[in-house]
Structure 1
């Protein structure tokens, strides 16, 4: 019995060393991005993204929990416009526009229950439409758990971004020019 407890102790120490050492070797930043071409001019796409009032029309997370509580703050659009949510499945968080460059770029500060990240929308004219690139950037610093979670972000968030872009494309292309 004593040998079993001693072996268990050494196993726990070994796992802790692997977790900490491995975590320090992982990247301290995560970047995920997806893009799509929307057959609408940059001004129209920009207007949709520069406000959160219609965010849930195309958000990949809204369908998960349409009954979550949403609130809005600040101006209707542009820098300072904000949105917060709280639900059982979508958790608690907020987003606020921190940069708004007409027809080219919007940066959004994200807070997921204390974890910060930045989302950016980059717009570029492409033919008669707009290439929209949606990116997420997280800086994990020395947070080892966040670094481990960062390994899965590409798969988790990438899929959501693809769904969101597809939905945004559908919503926008069904509207008049």
Structure 2
């Protein structure tokens, strides 16, 4: 009995130590430069409906069901999706808009697990082109903190952002 309690105690201490050293915050972002004026790019990126046209997740599940609430492209507008196991279920709500420079959304993942993150799009003029930065940030909560010791958010989601930005570039430069 004492041996079992000792083992449980050691495991609890180990879990607490791992939680303390594990990453608590994450931020992933990718950039692309498009040959389109910033006002056109901004208007397109603000539209949750247009985002579905270049979203890498829409491609992962062509049968994904998406519903919209509110005035598309304005603070408070929401897209809600239900898809296969690759995309799950969740919603994205526009929370902040700074004309021609920044769009922030709250991503609420409902399935296969619940979590909330911040999505953002930053725009910067580069000569007659526009640099678009697409990012995702948030905080890990216990026990996800420990899992993240063995996973890299950048490796997990970065390639999806690259694919989406490549599709966006093709879409917006037509």
User: Given the two structures, how large is their TM-score scaled by the length of structure 2?
Assistant: 0.87
Aligned partners of 1:147 and 1:42: how far apart in 2? 41
Q: Residue in 1 aligned with 2:50? A: 54
Report how far residue 96 of structure 1 moved. Answer: 0.5
How many residues were matched structurally?
167
Query: Could you list the runs of 5+ residues in structure 2 that have no partner in the other structure?
Result: none
1:22 corresponds to 2:18: yes
Aligned partners of 2:12 and 2:90: how far apart in 1? 30
Give the aligned CA root-mean-square deviation in angstroms: 2.1
Query: Could you list the runs of 5+ residues in structure 1 that have no partner in the other structure?
Result: 1-5
Kept in 2, the 8 Å contact 1:107–1:120? The answer is yes
Q: Residue in 1 aligned with 2:172? A: 172
User: Is the partner of 2:72 in helix, strand or coil?
Assistant: coil
Aligned partners of 1:124 and 1:18: how far apart in 2? 45
User: Given the two structures, how large is their TM-score scaled by the length of structure 1?
Assistant: 0.85
Q: Residue in 2 aligned with 1:94? A: 91
User: Is the partner of 1:108 in helix, strand or coil?
Assistant: strand
Kept in 1, the 8 Å contact 2:67–2:81? The answer is yes
Which contiguous aligned blocks of 4+ residues in structure 1 show a shift greater than 4 angstroms? 12-17
1:105 corresponds to 2:102: yes
Q: Residue in 2 aligned with 1:139? A: 139
Q: Residue in 1 aligned with 2:122? A: 122
